Structure 1
Amino acid sequence: MSTRAIEARSFLLRCRRAYSTTRFSLQDTRPATAPRQYPSITQIRDNVELYEHNAVVRNYGSHKAIPRRVADNARRLKELDQQMVGSRQTLKELQKTLNATKGDKSSIIAQMKEIRPSLDALQAERDSLDSETQAMALSLPNLTSSETPTDGRPRMRSYINYDAENPPQYSPSADHSMIGEALGLVDFSSASTTSGWGFYFLMNEAALLEQALIQYALSVAMNRGWSVVSPPSLVYSHMAAACGFQPRDQHDEQQIWQVAQSERDVGKPTRSLAATAEIPLASMYANKTIPAERLPIKLVGSSRCYRAEAGARGVDTKGLYRVHEFTKVEMFAWTDCPPPNHEGLIDEAAWTEHSSQLLDEMVGTQCEILSNLGLPCRILEMPSSDLGASAYRKIDIEAMFPSRKKRDDGWGEVTSASICTDYQSRRLDTRILEPDGSRKKFAHTVNGTALAVPRVLAAILENGWRGEEGCVVIPQVLRGYMGGMEKIGPR
């Protein structure tokens, strides 16, 4: 590696550390084989105030100065390119003269040597500045939908199986941890000895219920035209970062587990346990173009998910609500978007026309599943401060957990659906192939939970609990997957 390249890389790493919200960035470990990333630098340059405001409402206050820096750097890069044009043209002409000269070439060579140092210096400055600008632009979160509240509070959309004027009454014993232990459904003690806190054994009917939930969620999605995929749970760390998942969150708490490498593998790309199937599914089309006529592509997959931050803030330390490992059925889709507009931001309605349709379809699928499971739920438009880096808009559905009445009035998230526009596809180089051969557009991505097993299972135990009988009523739609079983009774 040349001295100039080493200096440029060193400068880039210092920049990434300076502008990262975490102790380190998975971007630092990107191998040469990783997809090339294309942050929207021109859009940031032309809309500095918008991006500054967006950083604040997204709870990225430390990033507020970055859009201005990106804009200043972009202008300086243009100046450097202009400065090098003349020198490069002169060198090109001198090279032609040198090739054509048969006599003394020393004067020509001397002229070329005189020009090259200044040109090399300008090029080195440009390389470092370009790397710095790319890193800063990539550190910014996605823009935010006008539908998204910016006051820090979610906005109520509607209810499922719930009358706010006449809420249901629950037995004090409607606690899934107590129910699970009483009926021999969940073993936390053995799991703690085996794997540590945040793990669990699902036993007997609960193990069957897990499989029933997976099969039911997949069947609903399939009936709506989604193709089934079984994705891996181990992913390259740089792919997780490209999807918007960092090793640590803004509270400096670990989010993703990285897999330790042996000494012989040092220098190879690191791998992480996937926090969600969104990561491997999004990566399926990394470095690829999708023919426009194939869009939208809609996939649904069941996988094991791993969350390192479970219970990290000292809450939900009991039961199945917040755990380290769980099964989740995930929906992921790529869709079309308007052509690039170099004059500024595209009209929001046009920009999200296709992705908004997919978001509505995902939420409709979630509502069908939860409604048929008989769970009382509420649908929320989530605030900007709650959105992950990649999300442009997010809708959550929360179910009623009687055991959580003292926390959030019993409501707890069971599904989430997000529009990510081109945030992920720009970082994974997933483009749309137009009929005319153009590859200028980056596909929009949309993702949503079809069903997260532990929380839904816990909600079924609590809402289906009949204290006077000491049993749990199994939702009608799941009985066919459980041999016709109607109740989980006392042993």
Structure 2
Amino acid sequence: MIRWKPSARRTRIALSASKYRQRRPPSDRVRVPEVIPTTAPKPEYNIKHIRNHYESYSQNCDARNYKAQSGNPSKIVGLFEEWAQSKSDTRDLRVRNNVIQKELSHTKTPSEVKTGSQYVTGQERTKLLQEARGLKNKLAASTIKEQQLLGQIDALAAELPNLTSEETPLGSDPNVIGYINEDVSTIETHPARSHVEIGADLDLLDFAGAATASGWGWYYLRNEGALLEQALIQYALKVAREHGFTIVTPPSMVYSHIVSACGFRPRDQSGEQQVYNIEQANKKKGSDRPAWSLAGTAEIPFAGMKAKQVLDAADLPIKVVGPSRCYRAEAGARGVDTKGLYRVHEFTKVEMFAWTLPGAEQEVFDSLLSIQKTILENLGLHCRILEMPSHDLGASATRKQDIEAFFPSRQRRKHDHVHSKEDNEGWGEVTSTSICTDYQTRRLDTRVKNVPGSKKPLEFPSTVNGTAVAVPRVLAAILENGWDKEGFVRIPEVLWPWMHGMQIIEKKK
């Protein structure tokens, strides 16, 4: 099985995978938006590489839990052979058609046609004309067939998961590769209170009002809770800017075909909706107006920002960071661990995104991880760093590392019925960093020129993305870890400049 190496310039083609804790196979087919305008980026898949390594691509599907797509590579080989045979037959038809047209062009009189050194009658000319008309129909049918075959090949290629990095553990279990602010198992922890209880006591969160206004999975941040959100945004932007990132505020609504190109599916493997689609008023049936979706992460509008553009190698890496509201239609299982702010439908996140030269992704990947570690360390959170397994890689990722923070309220489940070791230990994901190689740029028609050492005029750059701060989850971790038994929450010192002079959050009098 081929596994991707950072220096390799291979095609990475994927469909998104589920979280490793869910461990469910993806759907058989990606849903395509109803209308894709002619102005949309035209994807380009490396079909030659898939054909030449179809067995490795099939094995890669199995390794990433894409059982339904494991037969796609061999289907592509068969369809390509059919296309090549049709192409050969079409060339023969064109050769014969050219011969007839040449013969017809040598007409001496309306009733005579020159064939070699002989002249033929008008009746024979009529037969040639009939044959020419038949060839024209066959050529038209062959052209349609070849276009259909290429369309089927592209559809199958679009569903294949990305080639997997050699650093990625195969299967469902991540590898713990490090800790931030030491392993929490080595320290003494106070009696746990959930952030939901703390938020209610200190008048920071309002879930009841949000349930009435919007339903489950929505919330209001109040008082110091709202200030903490803004403080976290400003602190994350400050750290990223110090590392050379340009601040950009992206749109929250994007075309649905851009969402698909970035590897995000409208529905999950059980058919439950994940992406919020925007219903357009007064849109007539059959309209060529493209559909819109609400972005689940700023990674999508950031990637779309350079769609159908040619970048210069001298300008790479291009690194952007920005805050945005994110929308997830499917907010996960409703249990103890997802109660409160941990899994919600709408949230604020500061996202980092970069375009790099092919093969130069690792340096930016390490930079994003360094920023995440700095932020979480200075917030005083105990975290662990995970190399994520193949089953957990998203659509475009070839490698992914997550950072999970310690939530004291989760640890108290150690004597309850739990589904995984993680539930016992109290960890919860707060950041993620992924190398996506050229998966997104191939689908978005983003190219780069003047690549050193390349014989091609244009290459596809790689993309890397990572969370600077997912506000609700980090806010929840701060409340739980900063809680004091005297009834207040300590605010991390790095957030003080944006907290109007407050260093602790106390109960309202």
TM-score of the pair, normalised by structure 1: 0.88
Q: 2:490 aligns with which of 460, 469, 473?
A: 473
Residue 246 of structure 1, CA deviation: 0.6
How many residue pairs were aligned? 456
The match for 2:218 is 199
Q: 1:251 aligns with which of 250, 264, 270?
A: 270
Residue 250 of structure 1, CA deviation: 2.2
3-state SS, counterpart of residue 61 of structure 2: helix
The match for 1:16 is none
Whether the 8 Å CA contact 2:29–2:159 is kept in 1: the answer is no
Q: How does 1:130-209 map to 2 (within 5 A)?
A: 130-163=150-183, 166-172=186-192, 174-209=193-228
Structure ranking higher in helix proportion: 1
Within 2, Cα distance between the matches of 1:66 and 1:397? 33
Residue 274 of structure 1, CA deviation: 0.4
Q: Deviations over 1:132-151 (max 9, x none)?
A: 11101101111110110113
The match for 1:345 is none
Whether the 8 Å CA contact 2:204–2:225 is kept in 1: the answer is yes
Residue 314 of structure 1, CA deviation: 5.2
Instruction: Pick which of 101-110 and 452-461 moved more.
Output: 101-110
2:339 paired with 1:372:
no
Residue 162 of structure 1, CA deviation: 2.2
2:235 paired with 1:229:
no
Whether the 8 Å CA contact 1:37–1:428 is kept in 2: the answer is yes
Shift in alpha-carbon separation, 1:30–1:316, aligned structure 2, 3 A: farther
Shift in alpha-carbon separation, 1:289–1:437, aligned structure 2, 3 A: farther
Whether the 8 Å CA contact 1:289–1:439 is kept in 2: the answer is no
Q: Deviations over 1:94-130 (max 9, x none)?
A: 4466567574375653332132233223222212111
Counterpart residue identity of residue 433, structure 2: A
Whether the 8 Å CA contact 1:309–1:324 is kept in 2: the answer is yes
The match for 1:383 is 389
Within 2, Cα distance between the matches of 1:155 and 1:400? 17
Q: 1:355 aligns with which of 345, 355, 361?
A: 361
2:317 paired with 1:310:
no
The match for 1:460 is 478
Q: 1:76 aligns with which of 73, 82, 86?
A: 82
Within 2, Cα distance between the matches of 1:209 and 1:399? 17
Within 2, Cα distance between the matches of 1:312 and 1:280? 27
Whether the 8 Å CA contact 2:184–2:382 is kept in 1: the answer is no
Within 1, Cα distance between the matches of 2:377 and 2:348? 20
Counterpart residue identity of residue 48, structure 1: Y
Whether the 8 Å CA contact 2:179–2:383 is kept in 1: the answer is yes
Q: 2:71 aligns with which of 65, 68, 71?
A: 65
Within 1, Cα distance between the matches of 2:162 and 2:251? 26
Whether the 8 Å CA contact 1:431–1:439 is kept in 2: the answer is no
Shift in alpha-carbon separation, 1:408–1:445, aligned structure 2, 3 A: farther
Counterpart residue identity of residue 388, structure 1: G
Within 2, Cα distance between the matches of 1:354 and 1:24? 30
Within 1, Cα distance between the matches of 2:141 and 2:436? 39
The match for 1:287 is 308
Q: Aligned residues: percent identity?
A: 50
Within 2, Cα distance between the matches of 1:62 and 1:22? 5
The match for 1:343 is none
Within 2, Cα distance between the matches of 1:97 and 1:226? 68
Q: Deviations over 1:206-237 (max 9, x none)?
A: 11110000000001000000001000000111
3-state SS, counterpart of residue 198 of structure 1: coil
Instruction: Pick which of 114-123 and 97-106 moved more.
Output: 97-106
Counterpart residue identity of residue 49, structure 2: Q
3-state SS, counterpart of residue 93 of structure 2: helix
Within 1, Cα distance between the matches of 2:140 and 2:292? 37
Instruction: Pick which of 30-39 and 391-400 moved more.
Output: 30-39
Q: Decide which structure has the larger Cα Rg and report it.
A: 2
Counterpart residue identity of residue 431, structure 1: R
Shift in alpha-carbon separation, 1:86–1:308, aligned structure 2, 3 A: same
The match for 1:220 is 239
Unaligned runs of 5+ in 1: 1-18, 338-352
Counterpart residue identity of residue 410, structure 1: G
Counterpart residue identity of residue 409, structure 1: E
Whether the 8 Å CA contact 2:384–2:404 is kept in 1: the answer is yes
2:472 paired with 1:425:
no
Residue 482 of structure 1, CA deviation: 1.3
Q: Deviations over 1:361-380 (max 9, x none)?
A: 11111001101111000000
The match for 2:11 is none
Shift in alpha-carbon separation, 1:317–1:20, aligned structure 2, 3 A: closer
User: What is the alpha-carbon root mean square deviation over aligned residues?
Assistant: 2.1
Q: Deviations over 1:298-319 (max 9, x none)?
A: 0101100000110346564421
